[in-house]
Structures are given as C-alpha cells and as structure tokens.
A and B are shown apart, each in its own frame.
Chain A
Amino acid sequence: MTSILPLELRGLGYSAGGRRLLSGVTVPLRAGMRTIVLGPNGAGKSLLLRLCHGLIQPTEGGLRWSGGLDEAALRRRQAMVFQRPVLLRRSALGNIRYVLSLRGVARRLRQGMAEEALDRFGLGELARRPARVLSGGERQRLALARAWAVRPEVLFLDEPTSALDPAATLAVEIAVHDFHANGTKIVMTTHDLGQARRLADEVLFLSRGRLVEHGPAAEFFQAPATAQARAFLAGELMC
C-alpha cells in the first residue's frame, strides 16, 4: 500500500467574509513525526487542520497528498479527533461498528474489531453504554477508539484535551503515543505548552494566520527564532 504522505502544503490560505484567516502556509508534513501546531487563539490552528483533513476547501494555494488517490480514498486513510467529539445516539460499541461499516469492513469482523478498540482504550466495560451519557473523558477516549479502529495513516487532533481533567488528558497523551508507535502520523493542535513539549517532534508555530516558524521541537522550545515565538513561549499576551 503506497503512503499518502508526505502531505505538501503550498501557499495554503483561507479567507472568509473578506478576512484572510490563513495565508501562505507552505510546509511538508512527513510521516513518522508528531507535528504539533502551536499559536495564540485565532492564529488559524484549527483552520489549518480542517483544511488538511479536507473539511474546508482552501481559497488560495493548495495541498497535495502523495500516492495520487481520489478524495474518498484519501479520507479513508485519515481520522480526526475534535475538541468536542460528536458521538452518535447509540452504544459505545455501536459507534465504532458504525465507522467500520463506513470503511467497508465485513459485518462479521466488525464486532471483534470494535471490541478490541474499546478494550485498548479501557472502555470494554462501557461497550453497551449509550455513548452520549459517557463522561467527557470517556467520550474523548471513545473518539480515539473510533479513530483507532480504522487504522488511520494520519490522525488529526484539534485541541483534544482542552476540556478534560488531568487524568483524562494523560489518557489522551498515552493514546497519541500509541498511535505514533503504531506508525500513525500525528498532527495536533494544543494550547498546553507542557503537552506540546511532551509530545512534539516538530512544531508549526502560527500567528495571525501565518506560519511563523517551523522546525524540530527541541530547537523551537530552546531557541525560538522569532520574537513572536519567544513571546508566546514566555507566556506574554499576544493579540
């Protein structure tokens, strides 16, 4: 199976209502590295993820996946975990079986695969529970299990822990580590700098809709090249 990576972003931008929300983002996203997207609120982090995942069409520039697959095939190789996951009104198990059926997994295989995914994220006991009555942490773990079940080549995570307590946050970070260890490319936004330090291999730093800095995480955190990044890391208020 040919890889869809690297993903090449070329002059990627998006405008809405006469405002340029993101512009001129040119960067390759390569396999194997956990890419953490950092930046102040409104910098365009979530927008960048949605453009990459294909939920929004860019208004300038573009992006190219490798492998020459069509849109539907590309979508099947990706998954996204949102800040507030939308779970269907059915059991935890049913939520995972649903996405397996979308991916064309044979009916007789779905149950076993769904149970395996739930067990991996400590949700085995809750398999029959309606997904919508789970706690916030359990819901996010179910969203991760749902992504896990489809074995994505790329996983986008948009502020996955910003509404969670420390224990649930730790569970998400462990999950990100597991995905990474299994060869899934991670592209994640966060505003938690400690989390970024723990998880990042490389950092994309956005400010006011522009890619200001891009490089290995160690360099970015030790010696940021731009004044904006230094200010951001120092915790200064930015507008």
Chain B
Amino acid sequence: MFDLAAAFSSAIALIAGLDAELFAIVRLSLGVSLAAVAIAAVIGLPLGAFLALARFPGREVVLVALNALMGLPPVVVGLAVYVLLSRAGPLGSFGLLFTPGAMVVAQAVLVTPIIAALGRQAVADLWEEYGEQLRSLGAPRRRVIGTLLWDGRHSLITVLLAGFGRAAAEVGAVMIVGGNIKGLTRTMTTAISLETSKGDLAMALGLGMILLAVVAAVNGAAFAAGAWARRVSG
C-alpha cells in the first residue's frame, strides 16, 4: 500500500532543503505558463470581444469551432507545434524546438481558444448591459471593444485564471516540444510524469503537492487583486 505520509515528507523535504533544482523547475513552470497566458490574452481577449460584437455570415460556425478548440488535446497541440518548429518544419529556422520558447508557443496555442471563448461570453454579457448606452454615446467599434474589455476586467481575470490553470496543468504539449530536458525544459508536470514512470511515487506526489500550492498561490493573488480593485472602482 502506497504511503501518503512518505509523499508529504518528500514534499516537505524538497521545500525545506531549498532544493535548487526544484526551484528552477518551479520557476520555469511558472514562467512558461504565465508567458503563454500573456500571449494568449493579447490575442484571445480582443478576438473574443470582436466575436461578441460582430455579426457576420458563418459566425455561429466560428463560435462552435472556437468552443470546440477549448478541448484541444495537449499532445495534439504539442505534436503540431513540434512539426512546425522541427528543423525541417516551416518555422524550423528559429531553432526553438526543445527550448522554453517552444513550450510557451505550444501552451499559448492551447490557451488562446479558452481565453477567446470564455472572454467572448463575458464581453457579450457586458454588452447586454452597456450596448444601448455606448451606442447612444456614439462610441465607434474599436473604442467599444477597449471599453468592454476594461470594464469587464473583474470577470476577465477569472477567464485568464482558467487559461493559466489549463497551461500549468498540462503535460503533453510541453513534454513533446520541450523534451523534459533536465535543467532546461523540465517543468513540474513533466517531472511528475518522469518520477511516476521511474516508480518514485512519493517524489511524484510531493511534486504534485507543490504544483497545487503554486497554482493555488497564483489564484489567491489574483483573487486578492480583484477584491481590492472591486473595492476601489466599484
């Protein structure tokens, strides 16, 4: 029978020992996922807002496709990015494969549909409330998008967190395009996967606990920031 206490003690030992390798892995995981969410936000939020407001033939098809892309399997994204970035691939000249850069690209591809689809819903809800007023004020389309994204910032924070959660939790894409290279592209999830296959379940579970704690800390920070902003700006 597997010993949960051993997992706890190995997690605590790793943290208490100020294990340099562990901290490098945590830093890389956080850095890659946050960078991916940032890129996905820059693309996905305006795209979502545009889809919330625009009416064009085939819009429903685009929306269904976008919602379906939320369920993209990470390994498929990893494989596609791998093909694109490999030496012989169309983007091979950048030499990104098996670097953190490639992992950021793969996770950004994974997260952008989530942020665009959930962001679209948040902006559409806000438009219900704001639409008449903004049209009455004479706001042109581009200003409307900016205004709705800014005024929807409280709910859009949650959208970004959903994207971050997806990025931080996935293993398939970073494993394929990063290669789980020790000291270079090893993240929390690929390390857990590796320890599990090596049979060191206590270590794997300990890493899992640390990953959960990191994700919880990011969510807690975002929640506190949101609560503060709500108090200040209503």
Binary contact track A64-78/B, C-beta < 8 Å → 1, others 0? 000000001001101
The A-B contact count (CB < 8 A) is 44
Judge if B133 is at the interface, Cβ distance under 8 Å: yes
Q: Which residues of A contact B197 (CB under 8 A)?
A: none
Q: Given A90-B233, A130-B232 in contact, is the A79-B136 Cβ separation under 8 Å?
A: yes
A4 to B86, CA, bound (A): 64
B136 and A53 contact, CB distance less than 8 A:
yes
Judge if A102 is at the interface, Cβ distance under 8 Å: yes
Checking A76, A86, A103, A132 against B130 with a beta-carbon cut-off of 8 angstroms, the contacting residue is A86
Q: How far is the CB of A132 from chain B (nearest CB, A)?
A: 3
**Residues from 37 to 87 in A contacting B, C-beta threshold 8 Å:** 50, 53, 55, 72, 75-76, 78-80, 82, 85-86
Q: Which residues of B contact A86 (CB under 8 A)?
A: 129-130, 132-134
A102 to B147, CA, bound (A): 12
**Residues from 162 to 219 in A contacting B, C-beta threshold 8 Å:** none
Judge if A127 is at the interface, Cβ distance under 8 Å: no
Binary contact track B136-166/A, C-beta < 8 Å → 1, others 0? 1111000100010011010000000000000
Judge if B234 is at the interface, Cβ distance under 8 Å: yes
**Residues from 115 to 170 in A contacting B, C-beta threshold 8 Å:** 130-133
Closest to B133 in A: A86
Chain B binding surface, main DSSP class = helix
Q: How far is the CB of A141 from chain B (nearest CB, A)?
A: 16
A132 to B143, CA, bound (A): 20
A133 to B233, CA, bound (A): 8
Q: How far is the CB of A48 from chain B (nearest CB, A)?
A: 15
Judge if A88 is at the interface, Cβ distance under 8 Å: yes
Judge if B135 is at the interface, Cβ distance under 8 Å: yes
Q: Given A82-B132, A85-B133, A89-B151 in contact, is the A130-B138 Cβ separation under 8 Å?
A: no
**Residues from 185 to 234 in B contacting A, C-beta threshold 8 Å:** 232-234
**Interface size range on B against A:** 10 to 19
Q: Which residues of A contact B133 (CB under 8 A)?
A: 82, 85-86
Among A72, A79, A86, find the residue whose CB has the most chain B CB atoms closer than 10 A.
Answer: A86
**Interface size range on A against B:** 20 to 34
A55 and B132 contact, CB distance less than 8 A:
yes
B147 and A88 contact, CB distance less than 8 A:
yes
B138 and A103 contact, CB distance less than 8 A:
yes
Q: Which residues of A contact B132 (CB under 8 A)?
A: 50, 55, 82, 86
A227 to B184, CA, bound (A): 86
Q: Which residues of B contact A98 (CB under 8 A)?
A: 137, 147
A72 and B138 contact, CB distance less than 8 A:
yes
Q: How far is the CB of B88 from chain A (nearest CB, A)?
A: 50
Closest to B148 in A: A88
Q: Give 30 CB contacts A-B under 8 Å.
A: A50-B132, A53-B136, A55-B132, A55-B136, A76-B138, A78-B136, A79-B136, A82-B132, A82-B133, A82-B136, A86-B130, A86-B133, A86-B134, A88-B147, A88-B151, A89-B150, A89-B234, A90-B233, A98-B137, A98-B147, A99-B137, A102-B137, A102-B138, A102-B143, A103-B138, A130-B232, A130-B233, A130-B234, A132-B233, A133-B234
**Given known contacts A72-B138, A82-B132, what 5 new A-B pairs fall within 8 Å (CB)?**
A55-B132, A85-B133, A86-B134, A103-B138, A130-B233
